[in-house]
Structure 1
C-alpha cells in the first residue's frame, strides 16, 4: 500500500481536525482509499515547528491544550516555525496549508504555496487568499513542476462546489453563479429577522464558533468577495482582481429593515454573484439583497451555504451544504488529497516522490 507524507502548515482548528482524522481513522481510511497518510512535519505561528521524517506521533499533540502547545523541547522541535525551511527541505509529498487568510496580499500563505510548488510538492489549501489573488499564476507554477494545486475548501469549506462544477457539469454552459457563501453573516441576518440587535447577534455567532474574534471579514463582505473571485475565475473563466468586485457588507442593515422585509415575504441575504456576458466579460459583486421566498437562496438559513449555478441546459442548479466548521473544512483537505492521488497515481512522468509509484502498484 502506498503512503503520502504530509507537512501541515498551521496547526489551528482545520489542520488540527485533519490530524484528528488521520490519528483516529487512519487505518480505516487507508483500507478505503488504498493509501496511508503520515504527518512528518507541523509548523505553527504559536507552537513553532516539529519534524520527524519517520512520522510524528499525533496523539500527545492532540491531547494538549491548543493554546499551551509548544514544539520547543520535543525531539525535532523548535520554537521557530521555520516555514520556508520545512516546506522546501522536509521530504513531504503534500504540503497542507491552513493558515489565516489575508485578503490584502495573501501573505504569508501565498509564499507558503509558492515555495512548495517550486520544490515540486503538491499543495492543498483552504486559504482563500492565494487562490483568489494569485490562483492563475500558482496553477501555472504547479503545471511547470508537474504537481497539483488543490483548493476545494476555499469556497464552501467541506461542501464540494468547485469539483461539482468541474466534474458534474460537463457539456453545460455556466453563465452565472450566485450564492450565500458566509455562514456567519447568514446566521446574523437570521437573528436580526428575529429581532436581535447586530452586536448581540455577532456575539452569539462568536460564542457558537461561527464568527472569529474579529468578524470584520464576515460582516463587511470581504470573505465573500474572495470566494466570488475564486468562483468567477475557476467556473466562468474570468481573471478578476479584488478591485473588480464591488463589495458591501451587512453593517447598514437594521433589525427593523429585516423584519419589515420578512412581513412582505422577503428575506435579506448577503449574496455574492458573478455573471458572464456574451462578449466574455464577467461582472461580480457582493451585496445584501432582499430575496423573494421563491428564490433558491431564500430558504438557506443559519450557517449553511449555497451556490446557484445558471446553466444553459438545466436552468438553475443549486448546491448547498455546511459552509464552515473545522471537521467539515478538514474533510475538504482530505478530498484534495484524494484528488491528488487520483490525478498522479498513474503518472510516471511527473517529478513526484517515489510514494506515487508505490501507490501505483497497489
Structure 2
C-alpha cells in the first residue's frame, strides 16, 4: 500500500532545490522501498508568493525556472493557483507536511518562525532546516506540535544530513546523556585546519571565502553565532532546556593567532571551535521537566576555541567536516562525524525526517 504525503515547500533556494532534486530522483525508489508517494503540491518564495496545484507540481520544471533566474510565477501548468503570502496560501490549501527552508535569521527567527507556528496550528507536520526558529523557540514549537498531534522534525538544522539528532533521540534512547561536545561549523573548522598548516587567520578566511565556505560577511560563523544556535537546539532537544543565547558562553575564532596554534601543536594539541553542553555534577534534567530559567543553570553551555589533545576524537576532524561527541552512561563516548552543510547533504536530512513522519502515518 502506498501512502501519499502532500508537501508544501517554503523556500526554494539552495536547500529547497536540493530537496526537489532528491524527490524527483528518488520518486520510484521511495514508492518501492518505503511505500511513499511524496507529492510536492505547493512552493513559496518571497519573490513569487505561494503557488499550489492540487495534482502536484513538476520539480524538474520548477528547477528549470529557478536556474534561468525567472520567478516561479513563470510556472504555467493548468490548475496552478497563487496567493501573495504563505499565510494565505496555507489557509487556502493546507498540506500534510510543511518543509520550511527559508533563510536563517538568528535575531527573531522570522519569517520561518511564523510559517512553522501557523502550520502546526493547522495540524500540519513540519520539517525544517532553518536554525533560527528552533534555536529561539524550540520548546514552544515542540509543545505546540504535541498539543496538535503532529511532528516537528529538524534533523537538518545541526549537521545537515549527518544523522546526529536522530542518533541522540532514537539511536541512544534509554541512555542518560551527560555531555555533548562538537565541531558544528564547517567554516571555522576549515579556517582552523588551514591555520594548523601554517596560514594565518586572515589568509585562511580569504581562502574560505574564495571557495564558498565563508560568506562575504563571515561574522555569524567566525564569531560563533552559528555554533551557538545549534547549541541551543541541542539543549532543547536533548536536555529539555529552553536556553537563551546569553546563557551560552561564546567566543569565536577571530582572535586566534598563529602563535597560539603553534603553541598548541608543540603540546600535541589542535585548536578547534567547540560547542559544548555538560550537566553539572549531581544534577538530573528530564526532557519532560524543563528548567533553565534563572541564574543556576543545570548545564554548562559554551562555544569557544579549545586546544584539544590529539587523542580527543574531535582533534583530527578537519576541513569543513562536522562532528559531535556524546558522553552517556551506557556507551561512555560516541562520536558522529560527517558533513555539516551542502545542498544535497542538507536535503538528505529533510528526506530522512519526511520518511520518519511517513512511518507514523496509517
> Same-fold call, TM > 0.5?
yes
Alignment-derived partner of residue 354 in structure 1:
none
8 Å Cα contact 1:181/1:307 also seen in 2:
yes
Aligned pair in 2 of structure 1 residues 123, 254: CA closer, same or farther (>3 Å)? Answer: same
Alignment-derived partner of residue 249 in structure 1:
252
Specify the SS of the correspondent of 1:260: helix
Specify the SS of the correspondent of 1:232: helix
Alignment-derived partner of residue 349 in structure 2:
332
8 Å Cα contact 2:65/2:71 also seen in 1:
no
Alignment-derived partner of residue 291 in structure 2:
none
8 Å Cα contact 2:7/2:96 also seen in 1:
yes
Instruction: Tell me the CA shift for residue 45 of structure 1.
Output: 2.2
Instruction: Tell me the CA shift for residue 327 of structure 1.
Output: 0.5
User: What is the aligned length?
Assistant: 344
Specify the SS of the correspondent of 1:72: helix
Deviates more, 1:105-114 or 1:213-222: 213-222
C-alpha separation in 2, matches of 1:229 and 1:141: 18
Alignment-derived partner of residue 193 in structure 2:
190
The answer to whether 1:222 aligns with 2:225 is: yes
Alignment-derived partner of residue 61 in structure 2:
60
Q: 1:279 aligns with which of 279, 283, 286?
A: 283
Aligned pair in 2 of structure 1 residues 131, 65: CA closer, same or farther (>3 Å)? Answer: closer
Specify the SS of the correspondent of 2:135: helix
Instruction: Tell me the CA shift for residue 329 of structure 1.
Output: 0.5
8 Å Cα contact 2:15/2:101 also seen in 1:
yes
C-alpha separation in 1, matches of 2:152 and 2:28: 26
Query: In the TM superposition, what are the counterparts of 1:147-162 in structure 2 within 5 Å?
Result: 147-162=150-165
C-alpha separation in 2, matches of 1:241 and 1:214: 24
Q: 1:299 aligns with which of 316, 319, 340?
A: 316
Aligned pair in 2 of structure 1 residues 89, 213: CA closer, same or farther (>3 Å)? Answer: farther
Q: TM-score, normalised by structure 1?
A: 0.90
Instruction: Tell me the CA shift for residue 217 of structure 1.
Output: 0.9
8 Å Cα contact 1:43/1:81 also seen in 2:
no
Specify the SS of the correspondent of 1:68: coil
Instruction: Tell me the CA shift for residue 66 of structure 1.
Output: 3.8
Instruction: Tell me the CA shift for residue 263 of structure 1.
Output: 3.2
Alignment-derived partner of residue 360 in structure 1:
none
Specify the SS of the correspondent of 1:137: helix
C-alpha separation in 2, matches of 1:259 and 1:64: 50
Specify the SS of the correspondent of 1:333: helix
Deviates more, 1:56-65 or 1:219-228: 56-65
Query: In the TM superposition, what are the counterparts of 1:1-362 in structure 2 within 5 Å?
Result: 1-66=2-67, 68-75=69-76, 76=80, 82-277=85-280, 278-280=282-284, 281-343=298-360, 345-346=361-362
C-alpha separation in 2, matches of 1:267 and 1:169: 29
Instruction: Tell me the CA shift for residue 70 of structure 1.
Output: 0.5
Deviates more, 1:115-124 or 1:201-210: 201-210
Instruction: Tell me the CA shift for residue 18 of structure 1.
Output: 0.5
8 Å Cα contact 1:175/1:275 also seen in 2:
yes
Structure 1 unaligned blocks of 5 or more: 347-362
8 Å Cα contact 1:172/1:313 also seen in 2:
yes
Measured against aligned partners, the alpha-carbon deviations of 1:32-89 in whole angstroms (never above 9, x if no partner) come to: 11111111111112344322111111212212454713123444365x7512122332
Deviates more, 1:8-17 or 1:275-284: 275-284
Q: TM-score, normalised by structure 2?
A: 0.90
Deviates more, 1:189-198 or 1:129-138: 189-198
8 Å Cα contact 1:84/1:115 also seen in 2:
yes
Instruction: Tell me the CA shift for residue 310 of structure 1.
Output: 1.1
C-alpha separation in 2, matches of 1:65 and 1:13: 10
Aligned Cα root-mean-square deviation (Å):
1.7
8 Å Cα contact 1:176/1:236 also seen in 2:
no
C-alpha separation in 1, matches of 2:250 and 2:92: 40
Specify the SS of the correspondent of 2:72: coil
Alignment-derived partner of residue 289 in structure 2:
none
C-alpha separation in 1, matches of 2:70 and 2:257: 42
